[in-house]
Each structure stands twice: as structure tokens, then as C-alpha cells.
A and B are shown apart, each in its own frame.
Chain A
Amino acid sequence: MLSVKGDENMTSVGTNEAIERIVREYSVMLLRLACTRLASTADAEDAVQDVFLTLLSSRVVFRDAGHERAWLIRATLHRASDIRRRARQKDLPLDSALQVEASEGISPDADIMAVVRSLPEKYSAVIHLHYYEGYTAKEIGRLLGLPAATVGTRLSRGREKLKKILKEDDR
């Protein structure tokens, strides 16, 4: 059962209202986040659906909306990385994965997404949360359980790596 405290009434995820609220509120954000690890939007949808199913079965209780969001973000990154690792274990090279993306036509900006995905998770996650979701380093630290200084370092190094990759691509 999923509940969020802080509201007047704790809501069970077993209720239709809670299920609908969670899915409606977080789906898009989590799908985009999953795409920082996964080349295929179909895989991203599988990952996020798995996260919701895990949430349903693991009876999570959240102290507030921030905790709820943090849990979902961590769970999505974990599941997306898991799917990615398994694809690699099946000897599906990353380049092939990118070709899959191109063939599925999921984004005209596939190059940018491919570059972001080529970064280690520790960089791509903070870059996405900062540059797309607009979180500060301190907020990302709370979401990911890291000191703000570590997040700042990762943002900085992630940016450097992105610049380097993009420069190489321009040659």
C-alpha cells in the first residue's frame, strides 16, 4: 500500500484515486528520466510501469510529497539501469541500441539524447534533474541522498564530459 502522510487523510494506493493520482502526476516526469538511460521509449515505458507495480506491491509509505518523488526517481533510475545492464548482458551493444532508437523514430533530437545516455548514470541523472526538471544541487541532493557538494561536482564534471563529446562529434 502506498500512502502519503501530511495530508489530512492517508491514501492507500489500493484505491483507484491514489493509483490514478500517482500515475497521472509522475508518469511523464519518470518516462523522461528513464530516457536518460534507455534508448527506446518502449523500454522506458516498461521501466516506469515496473516502478509503479513495485510501488503497489511494496506497501511504501511516504512522509511527504518530496519523499514520494525521491523514491519514484530513485526507483526509476534503478529499474532503467537494470534494463540497460540486462540488454548489455545480452550482447546488445550501445550503438545497436541507438540504431534501434533511430529506427523507431522516437526523437528528432536523438543525437543529444544519445550523448546524454552515453554519460555514466551519476552524471546523466543530475544533469537531467537540473537542466530539465530545474532542481538545484541541494534539491537533487535530497532526492538522491547525496551531499549538495557532490551533486555540484557531478554537474560540473557532467557538463565537461558533454562538451568534450559534442566537440569530438563536431570534428
Chain B
Amino acid sequence: MNREKYRTAIDRLSFSEDFETRTIALLREKAQPAAEKENETMKHAKHIRTLWQTAIALCVVAVLSISAYAAANWLTPSQVANRVNEPTLAKAFESEDAISINETVETGDFTLNLAGLVTGKGLKPLEQNVDETRTYAVLSIQHTDGTPMTVDDMPFSTYTLTPLVSGYAPWTINMGTLDAMVTLIEEDGSLYYLLDTKNLEMFADHTVYLAFFEGFVPNSNIFTMGEDGTISFAENFTAPHALFELPLDESKADPDAVSALMESLNIPDAEISD
């Protein structure tokens, strides 16, 4: 099969003539009710900060086993950044402002290790390629039984890594609205997600999560949100998943930046602090 033959085959595919018109009409119809529904959701999503949420130490929650897995064989976040040709970011991961986490969770056939992150101030001294308005984090994955993994084991269309914030519905504030992208690499039988997202420190007076799950866009079949804004996986969601809480410094919270973000997203800022 050559390129021209393939192109011809694709060009000959025939779709409904009215697909675009029909789709535009459907989206317009859905747009207004969706906005109204979201407003209602946010009205009820009052965030109540609790003592445990203010703890700096990282907790890992979910219906998962938590192990003291010795992750001596993981690459460090700095090494991961170097592997994807981001030497400046690699330096940031080695800086004093980088946050080392190194927490491990087993789910499904996988052992996940949230290695660490660097955000905001930690990136400020760097001049190029990294953005101080961003947060970068590294999540490592291995098969729990020790069999080597390749990137083929973690199809981009099957698994998702996304930041979430308590008090904001997962289907509202997630990798989409937080402008998050991931790069996946393999090294010596382990996989590494390098997450690049909006600066999460602005939400530091909330519980900020990093969620890994089988699926794509967060929805109510995957996540639930308690009345106090706490996010968790739905009880009947049995696919591989993990929810890490990020140990952000609460003093770095920037409610004005959050309000600006919400305004840009046309989301009413329903966050209510205690």
C-alpha cells in the first residue's frame, strides 16, 4: 500500500452531507441547558475546608491498596525531564522549591508512583522553555508483577492523568480547563507521565488532586463530589484508578487568579472558604 492509494481510499469515504449542519444544531441546542446546569452544580459545590485538607503531608486515597513500595528503580523527575529534552525543567526538579512526593499506589495490574512536582516559584528563576505559570509533575508506572511495560501498554486514548480540585466538579475543572498535557515515555520497563498543567498553586487553599484512571474526560460515572467538595472515585468505578492529594503550600493560594480563571471559563466561582 502506498501513500496515494491510502489517500484515495480515505478521500472516497462518504459521510452524511448534513453532518456538520446537524452537529452544529445539536451543539447549539445543548449549549444553553448545559450552562444552566453547570450554574446549578456550582451553587451546590460549596467548598468547606477541613483540618485534614490543610495538612501538608500527602495522603493517597481511593479504594486502593497503599504500599510502602521501594521505588528505588524509578527515574527521578529530573531524569524524566532530561529524557524528554527539557534540561531546564530537569534543573527545576532538582531545585529546593521542587516538591518530592514519592508515594506509591497499586491499582489493577499497575503500581503507580507520584514522584514529585515543581510549580510556580520553583520555576521562576528559569529563563527558557518552562513557564512559571505552570505546574509540572511526574507519575511513574510499573506492572505490579514486574513484567516490563512499554508505552503500548498505556494507550493515550485509554488512560488519563488529570488534576482535580476539591469544591469544583471534576467535569468542570480538569485537564481540559487546566490546560494540561502529558508526555509518556518508557525506560527500562517503566513508564513515566510528565504532566504539564496550569499552575496548581493558585488552588492551594483547596485540596488539589492528581487523578489517574482508565477513561478520558472526567464525568459523574467516574467521580463523585461530596457536599463538602471532596472528590472521590465513584463506588462502582472498578477500572484502574488512583487519586493523589498534592502537598501544596496553602500560603501560595491565589484566589484572585482562581477567580480570573473561573471568569475566563465563564464558571461562577462557587468556592466558599471557611
Q: Which A positions have Cβ atoms within 8 angstroms of B?
A: 1, 3, 10, 12-14, 16, 19-20, 23-24, 27-28, 31-32, 35, 41, 44-45, 48-49, 52-54, 56-63, 67, 70-71, 74-75, 77-79, 81, 106-109, 112-113, 115-116, 120-122, 127-128, 131-132, 144-147, 150, 162-163, 166
- 20 pairs, A vs B, C-beta closer than 8 Å: A13-B27, A14-B266, A19-B31, A31-B15, A35-B10, A44-B15, A45-B19, A53-B26, A59-B265, A61-B176, A61-B265, A67-B179, A74-B157, A75-B217, A77-B156, A106-B14, A109-B9, A112-B1, A131-B6, A131-B7
Q: Is B267 an interface residue (CB 8 A)?
A: yes
B126 interfacial contact with A, CB 8 Å: no
Residues of B contacting A14 with CB < 8 Å?
Answer: 31-32, 35, 266
Contact in complex: A10, B264 (CB < 8 Å): yes
With contacts A77-B157, A81-B157, A146-B151 known, is A27 near B13, CB below 8 A? no
Q: Write the nearest CB–CB distance from A159 to chain B, whole angstroms.
A: 9
The interface residues of chain A lying within 8 Å CB-to-CB of B182 are: 145
CB–CB A60/B10 < 8 A: no
Q: Are B27 and A41 in contact (CB under 8 A)?
A: no
Bound form: Cα–Cα A135–B26 in Å: 31
Q: Which of A23, A113, A150 has most chain B Cβ within 10 Å? A: A23
B13 and A144 within 8 A (CB) = no
Task: State how many angstroms separate the Cβ of A53 from the closest Cβ of chain B.
Answer: 6
CA A54 – CA B3 in complex, angstroms?
33
Chain B residues with Cβ under 8 A from A24's Cβ?
A: 20
Q: A121-B155, A146-B184 are in contact. Are A56 and B31 (CB under 8 A)?
A: yes
- For the complex formed, measure the closest distance between the CB of A92 and the CB atoms of chain B, giving whole angstroms: 20
Q: Does B129 contact A (CB under 8 A)?
A: no
Residues of A within 8 A of B12 (CB): 107-109
- Nearest 8 Cβ contacts at the A-B interface: A109-B9, A60-B176, A78-B157, A112-B9, A77-B157, A78-B216, A19-B27, A14-B31
Q: What is the interface of chain B, defined by CB distance below 8 A to chain A? A: 1, 3, 5-10, 12-16, 19-20, 23-24, 26-28, 30-32, 34-35, 38, 84, 151-152, 155-158, 171-172, 174, 176-179, 181-186, 216-218, 264-267
Cβ-defined partner of B13 (8 Å) among A19, A41, A52, A115: A41
Cβ-defined contact, B266 with A145, below 8 A: no
B1 close to A31 (CB less than 8 A): no
Chain B residue numbers with a CB within 8 Å of A60 are 176-177
If A23-B27, A45-B19, A112-B9 touch, whether A147 touches B183 (CB-CB below 8 Å) is yes
Contact between B6 and A116, CB atoms less than 8 A apart? yes
* Chain B residues with CB below 8 A from A16, complex form: 28
Closest to A16 in B: B28
Residues of A within 8 A of B178 (CB): 61
The interface residues of chain B lying within 8 Å CB-to-CB of A49 are 23, 26
In the bound complex, what is the Cα–Cα distance between A121 and B185 (angstroms)? 18
Which residue from A54, A128, A147 sits with its C-beta under 8 Å from B217?
A54
* Chain A residues, CB < 8 A from B186: 150
A116 to B28, CA, bound (A): 35
Q: Across the interface, do B14 and A58 meet the contact criterion of CB distance under 8 Å? A: no
